[in-house]
């Protein structure tokens, strides 16, 4: 009986060497293709890990984003960004001497400051000259005589003066132009709901409210108002974070990035209003005869 030929060890070793070579060559080929011809084992690994991390963030939604307390301000949320631009004129030594002007280069510096929000309560005996593109959750306006034309979706609002001496307008979820001062209030808004003396005005979709001129008022309340900046001049009191109380005496007060409520009460005396701003702000500036204060 003839026995089968023995298996030579060198044949198995050659097989493993060939297979290992093919596998290693395949790995190198994939790495080269991944880096578009510029092979780098470290960069390929880093790139793969970075792509995986970005994919995981986009799936889970866990991005390093700041809070949304002041969402809707026209800047990065909860950040103050200062931009400084410089335009410099330099003459290139290799440039043609016949050129009368040198080359201009523009440098932009951007600096991001951490946000700092302060709880404030500001009372004043004067009404500020407030002119802002802002939005709010609800607005209540009381007045006695209609002295301007109010249009709702281009239709003129008609009032019956015999029903009530005091008229009350209530607006929900408004965005647009808000101007008020000691002379009156002007509105040019898009709102979700409009009520006159507790009677809602029916309309399909959003409602456009326009005051064609300033309207006098005895009481104004705006809740959840967000405004970029305003100034007020007068006497009163400023409280900051319930730790600082400052008496205002004909001081100019500037409030930056305000979110909160404003109340103007003129029902007792039109010439002696009580104005109150209560909420949060990112900056407070006070300019007086004896002292200047800047809180950021």
Residue recorded with tokens 């790495």? 31
Element (H, E) at 23: helix 9-34
Strands (E) located in 35-98: 79-90
Strand pairing class (150-152; 103-114): unpaired
Residues 87 and 105: their CA atoms lie apart, in Å, by 6
Could you report the per-residue pLDDT of 233-270, keeping only the tens digit for each?
999 999 999 888 999 999 999 999 999 999 999 987 77
pLDDT band at 70 (very low <50, low <70, confident <90, very high): very low
Give the pLDDT of residue 88: 42
Comparing 57-66, 86-95, 209-218, 256-265, which segment has the lowest mean pLDDT?
57-66
Alpha-carbon torsion angle 171, 258, 213, 211, nearest 10: -20
Q: At what angle do helices 9-34 and 41-60 cross, to 10 degrees?
A: 60
Q: Which two tokens stand for residue 142?
A: 């009381």
Q: Is the pTM of this model over 0.85?
A: no
Indicate the length of the chain as a whole number. Answer: 296
Average pLDDT, whole number, for the chain? 75
pLDDT band at 72 (very low <50, low <70, confident <90, very high): very low
Could you report the per-residue pLDDT of 92-137, keeping only the tens digit for each?
444 444 444 444 444 444 444 445 789 999 999 999 999 999 899 9
- Among 145, 155, 124, which residue's Cα sits nearest to residue 253? 124
pLDDT band at 11 (very low <50, low <70, confident <90, very high): low
Could you report the per-residue pLDDT of 275-287, keeping only the tens digit for each?
999 999 999 999 9
3-state secondary structure (DSSP) of residue 106: strand
Tell me the CA distances in angstroms from 65 to 57, 76, 94, one per residue in order. Answer: 12, 10, 47
Could you report the per-residue pLDDT of 22-56, keeping only the tens digit for each?
878 777 777 666 555 554 444 443 344 344 444 43
Output the CA torsion sign for 56, 60, 64, 65: positive
Q: With pLDDT > 70 as the criterion, what percentage of the chain qualifies? A: 65
Residues 199 and 163: their CA atoms lie apart, in Å, by 13
Residues 101 and 91: their CA atoms lie apart, in Å, by 7
Residues 260 and 193: their CA atoms lie apart, in Å, by 20
């Amino acid at each position: 009986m003839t026995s089968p030929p023995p298996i030579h060890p060198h044949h198995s070793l050659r097989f493993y060497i060939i297979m290992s070579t093919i596998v290693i060559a395949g790995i190198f080929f994939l790495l080269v293709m991944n880096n578009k011809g510029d092979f780098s084992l470290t960069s390929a690994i880093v790139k793969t890990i970075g792509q995986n991390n970005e994919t995981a963030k986009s799936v889970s939604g866990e991005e390093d984003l700041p809070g949304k307390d002041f969402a809707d301000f026209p800047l990065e949320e909860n950040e103050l960004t200062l931009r400084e631009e410089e335009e410099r004129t330099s003459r290139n030594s290799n440039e043609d001497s016949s050129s009368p002007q040198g080359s201009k280069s523009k440098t932009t510096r951007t600096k991001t400051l951490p946000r700092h929000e302060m709880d404030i309560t500001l009372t004043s005996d004067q009404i500020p000259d407030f002119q802002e593109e802002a939005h709010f959750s609800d607005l209540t306006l009381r007045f006695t005589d209609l002295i301007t034309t109010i249009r709702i979706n281009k239709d003129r609002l008609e009032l019956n003066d015999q029903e009530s001496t005091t008229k009350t307008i209530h607006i929900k979820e408004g965005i647009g132009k808000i101007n008020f001062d000691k002379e009156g209030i002007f509105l040019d808004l898009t709102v979700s709901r409009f009520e006159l003396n507790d009677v809602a005005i029916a309309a399909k979709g959003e409602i456009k409210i326009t005051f064609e001129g300033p309207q006098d008022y005895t009481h104004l309340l705006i809740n959840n108002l967000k405004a970029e900046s305003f100034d007020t001049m007068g006497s009163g009191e400023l409280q900051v974070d319930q730790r600082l109380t400052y008496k205002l005496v004909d001081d100019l007060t500037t409030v930056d990035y305000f979110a909160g409520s404003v109340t103007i009460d003129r029902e007792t005396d039109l010439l002696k209003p009580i104005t109150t701003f209560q909420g949060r702000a990112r900056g407070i500036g006070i300019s007086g005869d004896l002292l200047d204060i800047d809180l950021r």
